[in-house]
Amino acid sequence: MRDAYIVSAVRTPGCRRGKGALAQTRPEKLIVQAMKGAVERIKLDPAAIDDFMLGCAFPEAEQGLNLGRVALQMAKFPDSVSGATVNRFCSSGLESIAISALKVMAGWSEVNMAGGCESMSIVPMGGNLPRPMAEWAKENPDVYISMGITAENVAKRYGITREMQDEFAYHSNMKAATAQKNKYFTEIIPTTADKFVEKPDGTIVRETFVQDFDDGVRAETTIDGLKKLKPAFSSTGSVTAGNSSQTTDGAAASIIMSGDAVKKYGMKPLVKLVGYTVAGCKADEMGVGPAYAIPKLCKQVGWDLKKLQTESLIFELNEAFASQAIYCAQQLGIADKKYWASDSPECRINLNGGAIALGHPLGCTGSKIFATLVATMVRKGVKYGIESMCIGGGMGAAALFELCE
């Protein structure tokens, strides 16, 4: 089987749902800018692309009508470039990368684009009109359980204390604040956003501006401040707004090529896909998914789990909630504070902060944190990177990437 090389990976900023910089910008506009940014960064003619897979967790309303195809047309890519929309909830963006890469590896494509898009401001989590089958939902309520309650379940079942969660959240914000200060987020493309303003005469006008940074980072976060927050999902619980991921808007896109295409178009490959897998788990503790997916991935690629501690390796472990991220790290043998603390030279989990600080735009996140992973691997010269997602409904996904020399 051939190798699949990633030659470009970019993202828009991740901005807060409802009150952030991208809240009034339609999702189509976000993904179109990410797509254009991905090809412009490497000066690739879009006509070279065979297919586009777009991840979206709630592909309806403004995100409906096969946004993966509509976005191509809005971007004015040639009609010859086909597109589809993929939904694996929170891992939709990573799934789009895996599918696109596997097509290249199988010899079915030479150049593919993968991406993710989610406007949580415009299309709410759960969709506009969720309609689960009543009889099934009554007998199996855990399938539709609140994500916050799944995080509470993980905390209670596995002894993840409030103090542990708050400390992890604090360090996520500190890492993100440092990354912003040091301009590490080189994968971000400046993104034109809309804002609708009411004039004195009562008319509403659209104004535009450029957003080039994640607007949810809380550099002023303190442990004491986090301690004061009330539980968000259960009055007796430990999961708060401070130790949960932020709900955000954003888009991301990547270009994936065969070795032949890399040579043909004169590209410099950044990383290549080594392995990818998914795994199921109980729906009412969906956050533990990476604890199942990463060992399965290691077995697939012939790794002993001890390599997670010793190899030249970094992780993008999506922080849907601190409770599940901590539990997964425990199960993988990388829960020692030195692996995730902001002041640790041995940090290898979410070096630039995670979703607690930077946001989790659902179906976009898998593509979003992939772009961050690639940029970080290149910047630091780290040989391997693992991205892993927990997934609503009870699943985990994990992928291993290798830095190209």
pLDDT profile of the chain (405 residues), mean per 10: 97 98 98 98 98 98 98 98 98 98 98 98 94 91 93 98 98 98 98 96 96 97 98 97 98 98 98 98 98 98 95 97 98 97 97 98 98 98 98 97 95
51-76, pLDDT tens digit by residue? Answer: 999 999 999 999 999 999 999 999 99
What's the rounded Cα separation, in Å, for the pair 112 and 257? 7
Residue ranges of alpha helices (H) inside 54-161 are 67-74, 92-106, 134-139, 147-158
- Specify the DSSP element, H or E, that contains 260: helix 259-265
Average pLDDT, the chain: 97
Q: Which tokens sit at 380? A: 């630091």
Of 318, 351, 404, give the one whose Cα is nearest residue 94: 318
| pLDDT for position 405 | 84
| pLDDT for position 56 | 98
Give residues with Cβ within 8 angstroms of 251, minimum separation 6.
11, 12, 27, 30, 31, 33, 34, 115, 116, 117, 118, 361, 364, 367
Which phi and psi (to 5°) does residue 31 adopt? -70, -35
What DSSP designation does 233 have?
S
What's the rounded Cα separation, in Å, for the pair 289 and 286? 6
Active site residues: 90, 360, 390
Residue 121's Cβ-count burial label (10 Å; 0-12, 13-18, 19+) is buried
| pLDDT for position 243 | 98
Q: Which tokens sit at 244? A: 């949960």
Is 309 within 8 Å of 284 (Cβ atoms)? no
Strand partners, 206: 196
100-143, pLDDT tens digit by residue? Answer: 999 999 999 999 999 999 999 999 999 999 999 999 989 999 88
Is 152 within 8 Å of 238 (Cβ atoms)? yes
Q: Give the residue extent of every domain in the chain.
A: 5-124+190-215+245-271, 135-185+273-398
- Residue 378, helix vs strand vs coil: helix
Class of 135-185+273-398 in CATH: alpha beta
- Residue 145, helix vs strand vs coil: coil
| pLDDT for position 257 | 98
Q: Which fold has domain 5-124+190-215+245-271?
A: Peroxisomal Thiolase; Chain A, domain 1 (3.40.47)
Angstrom CA distances, 23 to 66, 101, 249, stand at 21, 31, 7
| pLDDT for position 226 | 98
| pLDDT for position 128 | 93
| pLDDT for position 370 | 98
Angstrom CA distances, 162 to 2, 28, 244, stand at 47, 39, 12
Going by DSSP bridges, is the β-strand pair 51-55/111-119 parallel, antiparallel, or unpaired? Answer: parallel
What DSSP designation does 347 have?
-
Strand partners, 240: 231
Is 268 within 8 Å of 19 (Cβ atoms)? no
